[in-house]
């Protein structure tokens, strides 16, 4: 069953089309990456899913229902732009969000205390938010998003602004939530997090979907690349699209080779043997999601690797 | 509804945790308390004693009589007001106390005293008072003459006399027939009063000009009579001339109609107008800052993912309304409590004001107060949602506050002078000013029809304002960039915003 489904969704702000005919589905369970550069339409799409704004056209289903606040008890949401009530204590803040999501006071407090401990904020429980560092404030926000044990956890750029240690803490938490049965949808323009965490991804550019599928399916969209160390130019070998000399040492040349679509590195190795092509080195290169993104979207929609 | 209450509780807690709220909440009770304490220290002594030595034998009885007449005049006035308030004039229609508080001539007072004074009058009234009426409390005489202490000598001159009273004049209390009292004045009248042998008086330092003036006037009156006598007039004629007072029949308006009475009757409603202005402007600013904070630190998106914008708005209004009611309750409670539990300037103002207000008026006052609170709070909410910063907000607020404040200030002055004049009546029918104008006029007497009419119009206005400004609030919550221009406002009000 799709826990989130967008069907030909369009969102216009005046003359500007922020989301253009976007359709994709997120199956229940696992971690789903919603990827794209800045201004790709990720946040707008998530806001529509949460009924914060309404689509210009198209339909959205979330948890099998129309978007609306009645779904709030089953959803956790961490927005991209974060903020907290400065003059509220850490505990009160998390409990408040739990209660807004329909929790009773006692369970909300109990879960808030557990999360505070889990995030290492115990000594700040009664402190005003204004006394916290930025990293600690972000942890409080994450805790507020998770306090209701959401069936669907939506994280909009969750890693931005966090130091590497806290990024790791959050990654672990996301994995923990997915393991516990929550479906996690997170948007990011930092591809390394998506590579480490996601099962499936959607790639957006200029409001349009450019890819939907698994990471391997995304990588398969790129022509194979490898590095050959050979004396002669390999361009004449079958299956090679381009070969560029990258360097030379002791009479041997390094060649950056792109394969034609559908040609696997093993096919090239076989061709070398069959043609008596002298090889000293052969290194297959696995494309990153960043490479995939650049290939599919173009460098003007730059992301962070 | 649960979400609205949660937001309201948070807003309430947030504002109640600020120092500004507590300062505002406690300022009136503290002022009342201080005024009571200050009043005790600085007001003229009312329950005081005097010591009088009259070596001439001509003045003491006259002074005692004058002070008693003055005391009886005050009591007669208060008893007459009591009789009028509880409609007891029929007990003895020809009695001096039966026709309301007014100016009483010396002859009337003298007759009142001759008939037994305040005690005799109350004995006549008490059996017929309604059960709901509190008993009339007869105050003890303001000034009681203390017998000369045994250790004070009078045969060694005025200075020795004063020296003997040094203790009481420095603050020790002195025995009187009314119990122990501070000695306000010691009077030495020599056997022959003249420019070289004057009457001498010593005070204890506390201001008590009334007592001093009374004594001096009475001595003057007696001297004048003696002077006339010595010029050959018969003592009765001399006394009669010395007692001449212009025959004046001073007509006072019936209670509640004179300007002073109108001001006193309107004290509580007028205080509510000021309270409304002060509280809504102050707490509205706090809420406005809260909305700007929510917008500027981007936490609204988290909130709006869980509750509707309308729930957020109503929660904020409810929270702010509860803050207003808290302040109202504490301020009115403090004023009424002070009026009921103590005497003094607060009691003098609040008691007649409370007595003048019919029970249904309390409901009307609460309604106008809350409606006024809602109208202005909603303006603050919408401005907060439109503004990216406090500077932005101030640019919107300044004209709004001026538009509200200036006419209200003029109207308040006008109401005190002429509560049912054209200006206050016109203001009563302009919804933005209705709560202020009607609150201000209630104490002076307003037709029920007018209350119902303005109330219905006000309720409709508040509903329309909440819908239209609510749309601006909701459309502006996640807006970025510069605030919209007039066309943008209108589009928002019509619900034609994007987003």
For A105-148, write each residue's pLDDT tens digit. Answer: 999 999 999 989 888 888 999 989 888 887 788 888 888 988 98
> Which residue has 């460098």 as its token pair?
A299
Cα A54 to Cα A42: distance, rounded to the nearest angstrom: 14
Q: Say whether B301 and A79 touch across the interface (CB within 8 A).
A: yes
Q: What are phi and psi of B84, to 5 degrees?
A: -70, -40
Ranges B275-279, B362-366, B459-463, B482-486: which has the least confidence: B482-486
Q: Indicate if the pLDDT at residue A19 is higher than 70.
A: yes
Residues of chain A neighbouring B299 (CB-CB closer than 8 A): 82-85
CA distances (Å), origin B287, targets A298, B13, B303, B394: 47, 12, 16, 14
Most confidently modeled of A190-199, B377-386, B457-466?
A: B457-466
Q: Which residues of A touch B3 (CB under 8 A)?
A: 69, 100
Helix (H, G, I), strand (E, B) or coil at B200: strand
Tell me what the mean pLDDT of segment A17-31 comes to: 88
**Greater pLDDT, A32 or A159:** A32
CA distances from A128 to A101, A112, B23, B377 (A): 22, 15, 22, 27
Which residue, B408, B439, B430, B366, is CA-closest to B281? B408
Percent of residues, chain B, with pLDDT higher than 70: 85
Looking at residues B376-396, what average pLDDT do you find? 82
Say whether residue A87 is in contact with chain B using an 8 A CB cutoff.
Answer: yes
B47 and B140 Cβ atoms separated by less than 8 Å: yes
Residue of A155, A157, A194 whose CA lies nearest to A75: A155
Contacts of A75 in chain B (CB under 8 A): 305
Q: For residue A303, is pLDDT > 80?
A: no
- At B39, the pLDDT band (50, 70, 90 cuts) reads low
Is the pLDDT at A28 greater than 60? The verdict is yes
Q: Name the H helices within B342-431.
A: 345-356, 359-386, 390-417, 422-428
Distance from CA of B378 to the nearest CA of A (A): 21
Taking alpha carbons only, the member of B353, B325, B317, B323 closest to residue B338 is: B353
The winner for highest mean pLDDT among A40-49, B84-93, B440-449, B475-484 is A40-49
pLDDT at B425 over 60: yes
d(CA B268, CA B273): 9
For residues A62-71, one letter each, b for 16 or more C-beta atoms within 10 angstroms of the residue's C-beta and e for the rest, the string is bbeeebebeb
- Nearest-angstrom CA–CA distance, A50 and A66: 9
Given a cut of 50, whether residue B257 has pLDDT beyond it is no
Sheet holding A152-156, edge to edge: A75-78, A152-156, A183-188, A31-36, A200-205, A208-214
The model's confidence at residue A174, banded by pLDDT at 50, 70 and 90, is confident
Look at residue B304 in the predicted model and tell me its pLDDT: 83
Q: Is the pLDDT of residue B256 over 60?
A: no
Q: How far apart are CA B151 and CA B166, in angstroms?
A: 11
Residue B299 to residue A77, Cβ atoms within 8 A: no
Q: What is the ipTM, given to two decimal places?
A: 0.76
Separation between Cα atoms, residue B413 and residue B17, nearest integer Å: 35
Q: Please, where are the H alpha helices in B231-308?
A: 235-242, 259-265, 267-296, 300-304
Q: Does A83 touch chain B (CB under 8 A)?
A: yes
Query: What per-residue confidence (pLDDT) applies to B263?
Result: 58
| Tokens (6 digits) for B330 | 């504490």
Question: Shortest Cα distance from A120 to chain B (angstroms)?
Answer: 23
Tell me which residues of chain A, numbers 240 to 269, contact chain B at a CB-CB cutoff of 8 Å: none
Residues in chain A with CB shorter than 8 Å from the CB of B304 are: 50, 52
User: At a CB cut-off of 8 Å and minimum separation 6, what does B430 contact?
Assistant: B437
Lowest mean pLDDT across A76-85, A94-103, A222-231, B349-358: B349-358
Cβ–Cβ gap A53/B10 under 8 Å? no
Mean predicted confidence (pLDDT) in A79-103:
88
Nearest-by-Cβ selection for B17 from A81, A87, A100: A87
**Which of chain A's residues have a Cβ under 8 Å away from the Cβ of B294?**
83, 85
List the beta bridge partners of residue A37: none
- Better-predicted residue by pLDDT, A96 or B78: A96
- Residue spans of alpha helices (H) in B17-156: 19-42, 60-85, 106-114, 117-125
pLDDT at position B152? 85
């Amino acid at each position: 069953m799709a826990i989130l489904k967008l069907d030909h969704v369009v969102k216009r702000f005046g003359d500007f089309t922020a989301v253009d005919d976007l359709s994709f589905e997120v199956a229940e369970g696992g971690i789903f990456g919603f990827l794209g550069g800045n201004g790709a339409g990720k946040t707008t799409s998530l806001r529509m899913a949460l009924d914060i704004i309404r689509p210009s056209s198209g339909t959205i289903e979330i948890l099998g229902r129309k978007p609306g606040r009645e779904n709030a008890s089953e959803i956790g949401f961490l927005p991209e732009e974060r903020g907290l009530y400065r003059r509220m204590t850490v505990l009160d803040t998390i409990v408040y969000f739990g209660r807004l999501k329909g929790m009773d006071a006692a369970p909300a407090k109990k879960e808030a205390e557990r999360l505070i401990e889990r995030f290492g904020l115990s000594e700040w429980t009664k402190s005003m938010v204004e006394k916290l560092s930025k990293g600690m404030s972000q942890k409080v926000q994450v805790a507020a998003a998770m306090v209701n044990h959401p069936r669907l956890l939506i994280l909009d750029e969750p890693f931005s602004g966090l130091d590497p240690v806290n990024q790791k803490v959050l990654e672990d938490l996301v994995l923990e939530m997915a393991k516990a049965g929550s479906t996690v949808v997170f948007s990011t323009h930092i591809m390394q997090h998506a590579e480490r965490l996601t099962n499936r991804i959607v790639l957006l550019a200029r409001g349009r979907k450019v890819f939907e599928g698994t990471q391997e399916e995304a990588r398969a969209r790129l022509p194979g690349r490898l590095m050959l160390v050979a004396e002669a130019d390999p361009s004449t070998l079958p299956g090679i699209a381009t070969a560029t000399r990258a360097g030379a040492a002791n009479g041997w040349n390094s060649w950056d080779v792109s394969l034609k679509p559908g040609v696997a590195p093993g096919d090239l190795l076989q061709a070398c043997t069959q043609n008596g092509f002298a090889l000293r080195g052969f290194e297959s290169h696995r494309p990153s999601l960043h490479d995939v993104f650049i290939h599919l979207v173009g460098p003007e929609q730059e992301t962070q690797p | 509804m649960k979400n609205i209450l949660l937001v309201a509780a948070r807003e309430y807690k947030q504002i109640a945790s600020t120092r500004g709220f507590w300062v505002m909440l406690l300022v009136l009770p503290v002022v009342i308390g201080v005024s009571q304490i200050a009043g005790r220290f600085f007001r003229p002594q009312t329950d005081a004693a005097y010591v009088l030595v009259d070596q001439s034998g001509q003045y003491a009885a006259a002074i005692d009589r004058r002070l008693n007449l003055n005391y009886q005049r005050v009591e007669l006035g208060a008893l007459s007001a009591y009789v009028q308030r509880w409609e007891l004039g029929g007990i003895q229609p020809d009695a001096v106390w039966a026709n309301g508080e007014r100016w009483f001539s010396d002859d009337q007072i003298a007759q009142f005293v001759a008939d037994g004074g305040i005690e005799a009058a109350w004995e006549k009234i008490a059996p017929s008072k309604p059960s709901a009426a509190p008993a009339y409390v007869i105050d003890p005489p303001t000034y009681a003459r203390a017998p000369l202490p045994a250790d004070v000598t009078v045969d060694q001159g005025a200075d020795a006399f004063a020296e003997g009273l040094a203790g009481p004049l420095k603050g020790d209390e002195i025995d009187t027939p009314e119990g122990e009292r501070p000695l306000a004045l010691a009077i030495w009248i020599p056997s022959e009063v003249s420019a070289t042998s004057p009457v001498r008086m010593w005070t204890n330092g506390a201001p008590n000009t009334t007592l001093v003036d009374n004594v001096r006037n009475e001595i003057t009156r007696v001297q004048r009579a003696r002077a006339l006598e010595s010029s050959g007039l018969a003592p009765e004629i001399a006394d009669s001339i010395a007692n001449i007072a212009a025959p004046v029949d001073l007509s006072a308006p019936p209670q509640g109609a004179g300007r002073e009475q109108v001001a006193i009757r309107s004290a509580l409603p007028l205080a509510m107008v000021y309270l409304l202005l002060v509280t809504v402007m102050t707490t509205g600013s706090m809420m406005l800052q809260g909305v700007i904070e929510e917008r500027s630190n981007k936490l609204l998106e988290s909130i709006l993912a869980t509750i509707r914008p309308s729930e957020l708005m109503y929660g904020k209004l409810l929270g702010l309304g509860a803050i207003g009611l808290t302040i109202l309750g504490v301020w009115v409670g403090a004023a009424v409590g002070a009026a009921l539990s103590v005497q003094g300037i607060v009691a003098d103002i609040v008691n007649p004001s409370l007595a003048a207000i019919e029970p249904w008026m309390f409901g009307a006052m609460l309604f106008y107060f809350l409606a006024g609170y809602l109208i202005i709070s909603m303006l603050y909410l919408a401005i907060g949602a439109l503004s990216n910063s406090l500077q932005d907000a101030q640019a919107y607020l300044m004209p709004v506050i001026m538009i509200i404040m200036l006419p209200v200030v003029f109207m308040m002055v006008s109401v005190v002078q002429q509560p049912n004049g054209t200006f206050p009546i016109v203001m009563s029918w302009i919804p933005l000013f209705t709560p202020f104008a009607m609150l201000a006029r209630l104490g002076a007497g307003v037709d029920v029809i007018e209350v119902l009419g303005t109330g219905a119009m006000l309720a409709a206005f508040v509903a329309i304002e909440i819908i239209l400004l609510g749309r601006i609030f909701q459309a502006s919550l996640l807006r970025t960039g510069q605030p919209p221009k007039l066309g943008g406002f209108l589009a928002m009000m019509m619900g034609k915003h994007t987003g």
